[in-house]
Amino acid sequence: MPFVTTPDGVNLYYETLGTGEPLLLVAGRNSDHHIWNLIRKDFVKHYQVIVYDQRGTGQSDKPERPPYSTRGFAQDAVSILDYLEIKRAHVYGISMGGAIGQWLGVDFADRVGALVLACSTAGASHGVRPSEETRAIMASGDGSKSVGLMVSKVWGINQIQFFYSKGDSVKNPMPAYAEELHAQASIEHDAWDWLPNIKSPTLILQGSDDPVCPSENANLLAGRIPGAELRMFDKGRHMFFVEFRQKVDRLVLDFLKRHPLSL
């Protein structure tokens, strides 16, 4: 099985598919690489697509220490690029994966081509938090309630279950301590002061009705990252990038095409 060992000795599971310019897909909090199951097939016709399980998820190691951080997760992502001998890659991050993408753009500017940040926030000091009601639902662990935060009722619960049934959560369950470490990393993320240093062409995607990452966060990011483009998806919730996959992926493909690595 394909694994990369990070400088601190953590084994990360990864997969690659397709050919062309490399595109790194970065999953969000508590998600393994299966979150990209439908999405990545839209990109493999044009790019070398790389997905992986972050530490604490899927088939990757789940260390209890040191504390996880979005900045540390960015270093993990670079470890995969290093192992694959990829000098530069486009990056598409969702939710906490977007926070990780921010650090990739800040700390590893020479490694990042185009940067796509979906349903993401600048973090603790300036980000807009979800409502108390939303936080309570997320903390409850009640899947029947939390699914409504992710997708619209019209799209349906049966569709979202595809991701959970296809994931590694059954064979490789995420222990409670790892969930807490992911949660802490997400809560403590704060890249606000460094965002103006991002030089990569940046596309910010957001669902207008996202209760988990309120849409105001997208406006804050767009105003903070030089030259960033913002696209809002009407009625989109936190997983709008799946519910409106075809429209979103066409937009991302167009953006990547306008910003090839050769430039």
Sketch the domain layout of the chain as residue ranges: 3-258
* 167 has pLDDT over 60: no
Three-state SS for 210? coil
3-state helix, strand, coil in the chain (%, to 5): 40, 20, 40
pLDDT of residue 168: 52
Start-to-end C-alpha separation, the chain = 34
* 164 has pLDDT over 70: no
* pLDDT tens string 169-189: 567 889 999 999 999 999 999
Q: pTM score, two decimals?
A: 0.94
Q: Please report which confidence band the pLDDT of residue 1 belongs to, taking 50, 70 and 90 as the band edges.
A: low
pLDDT of residue 68: 97
* pLDDT tens string 46-76: 999 999 999 999 999 999 999 999 999 999 9
pLDDT of residue 163: 52
Residue 221 structure tokens:
């990011």
- Average pLDDT, whole number, for the chain? 92
Instruction: Tell me the CA distances in angstroms from 217 to 111, 124, 126, one per residue in order.
Output: 25, 11, 9
pLDDT of residue 141: 73
Least confident of 20-24, 48-52, 139-143, 217-221: 139-143
pLDDT of residue 170: 61
* 145 has pLDDT over 80: no
* pLDDT tens string 86-107: 999 999 999 999 999 999 999 9
Q: Which residues pair with 11 in a beta bridge?
A: 5
Three-state SS for 139? helix
Residue appearing with tokens 């997400």: 186
Calpha distance 243→113 (Å, rounded): 26
Summarize the confidence of residues 80-87 as an average pLDDT. 98
Fold assignment, 3-258: Rossmann fold (3.40.50)
Calpha distance 124→191 (Å, rounded): 8
Q: Please report which confidence band the pLDDT of residue 160 belongs to, taking 50, 70 and 90 as the band edges.
A: low
pLDDT of residue 127: 95
Report percent pLDDT > 90 for the chain: 84
Summarize the confidence of residues 5-14 as an average pLDDT. 97
Residue appearing with tokens 């959970």: 164
Spatial contact of 232 and 215, defined as CB atoms under 8 Å apart: yes
Summarize the confidence of residues 28-51 as an average pLDDT. 95
pLDDT of residue 194: 98
Three-state SS for 215? coil
Calpha distance 216→130 (Å, rounded): 11
Summarize the confidence of residues 81-89 as an average pLDDT. 98
* 262 has pLDDT over 90: no
State the DSSP code for 33: G
